[in-house]
Amino acid sequence: MTPTEPENVRRVACVGAGVIGGGWVAHFLARGYDVTAWDPAPDAELRLRRLVDAAWPALTQLGLADGASTDRLTVTATLEEAVTDAQFVQESAPEKLDLKRDLLARLDAATPPGVVIASSTSGYPMTDMQTDAEGAGRLVVGHPFNPPYLIPLVEVVGGERTSAEAVAWASRFYEVAGKSVITMDREVPGFIANRLQEALWREALHMVANGEATVKEIDDSITEGPGLRWAFMGPMLTFALAGGEGGMAHMLDHFGPSLKSPWTRLEAPELDKALYDSVVAGCDDAAAGRTIADLVAERDQGVIDVLRATGRLPGARKEAGK
């Protein structure tokens, strides 16, 4: 069966409603969709509604779509009820391969034919997750960033058995739903952005483990330094400017050899108790008494301010014809 045109989708199902699934729910509600959600945890509905309510002021500031309302959310008792009328399904269950395999097969069996099903996985290739699904052709990865209701990027990629049509449909749908999409033509572990984020995180953990930097120094080194540039210009163009008038060519001639210097530690550090405890304690120190809810509100406002300052609020994007 042919799927609904991305522009005509009205009903979205979100399966798994934790940090990311809940964030997707908030995003789709704000864009005016009817959303059904299912999550097996007994307190899932309470947590989900709390997350959506906490996100709503930020989403209102960004500008809600016509008719958008938190009343358009229905939490169902079963997975089957959640997807039975869905025109798109977003899976955001825990990052465990067996669980994803089983869940995607169940979703495939319960979702109307032709409807695209996307997984929020942070790094599993779809080829490894679609093994048990008969309708594997409609399964894609749609990898978001936290919080999905504010960070525009979604990385889209199929697996070996995914149809090219499903990948194209998903990319178009996310764009219509207000996301910024990178469509990958091959499976790469960690996709693009998580591969980069992981490299940074791995080095940060090494520094804490070796006592070379505190959690706060690591965070400040990014927010007071390169992070300011990365919000509007990526690491490659930023480095091209570091080459002065010679641009990237001069940069490569000048600093290329230092790539071989032992600045980075390529193996992941052992996550022993001492490292675990110092990273957790360091984050508690850095929070300086702020609760997770305080930090979420602060982060949301910060992201909105940056999007506004760099002309990337959804309204501004449309005006710019992007």
Ligand X SMILES: NC(=O)c1ccc[n+]([C@@H]2O[C@H](COP(=O)([O-])OP(=O)(O)OC[C@H]3O[C@@H](n4cnc5c(N)ncnc54)[C@H](O)[C@@H]3O)[C@@H](O)[C@H]2O)c1
* Neighbour tally for 88: CB within 10 Å: 27
Q: Which one among 12, 13, 14, 20 touches ligand X, defined by CB under 6 A?
A: 20
* Residues 72-101 within binding reach of ligand X (CB under 6 A): 92-95, 99
* Residues 145-184 within binding reach of ligand X (CB under 6 A): 146
What's at 38, amino acid-wise? W
* Contacts of 300 by beta carbon, 8 Å cutoff, 6+ apart: 55, 58, 147, 150
- Going from the C-alpha of 38 to that of each of 109, 119, 146, the distances in angstroms are 16, 14, 20
Annotated binding-site residue? 9 = no
Q: Near ligand X by CB under 6 A, which window of 40-48, 53-61, 177-185, 204-212?
A: 40-48
Residue with the CB atom nearest ligand X in the bound state: 18
* 99 vs 287 by CB, closer to ligand X: 99
By CB under 6 A, tell whether 122 contacts ligand X.
Answer: yes
The mark string for 125-144 relative to ligand X (x by CB under 6 A, - otherwise) is ------------------xx
205 touches 279 (CB < 8 A): yes
By CB under 6 A, tell whether 314 contacts ligand X.
Answer: no
Question: Which helix H or strand E contains 265, and what residues bound it?
Answer: none
Q: Which one among 21, 137, 178, 282 touches ligand X, defined by CB under 6 A?
A: 21
* 4 vs 178 by CB, closer to ligand X: 178
By CB under 6 A, tell whether 46 contacts ligand X.
Answer: no
167 touches 159 (CB < 8 A): no
* Cα angle, residue 267 at apex, residues 263 and 272 outer, rounded to 5°: 110
Annotated binding-site residue? 20 = yes
Annotated binding-site residue? 16 = yes
Q: Which one among 25, 37, 44, 209 touches ligand X, defined by CB under 6 A?
A: 44
136 touches 161 (CB < 8 A): yes
# of chain residues touching ligand X (CB under 6 A): 23
Question: Which helix H or strand E contains 69, and what residues bound it?
Answer: none
Q: DSSP state, 67?
A: T
Pairing mode, strands 73-75 and 34-38: parallel
Q: Which one among 9, 13, 17, 58 touches ligand X, defined by CB under 6 A?
A: 17
User: Which residues in 237-263 are b (16+ Cβ under 10 Å) and which e?
Assistant: eebbeebeeeeeeebeeeeeeeeeeee
Question: Token digits for 183?
Answer: 């469509």
Q: Near ligand X by CB under 6 A, which window of 36-44, 65-73, 267-275, 297-305?
A: 36-44
- Annotated binding residues for NAD(+): 16-21
Write out the residues near ligand X by the rule CB under 6 A.
15-21, 39-41, 44, 92-95, 99, 103, 120-122, 143-144, 146
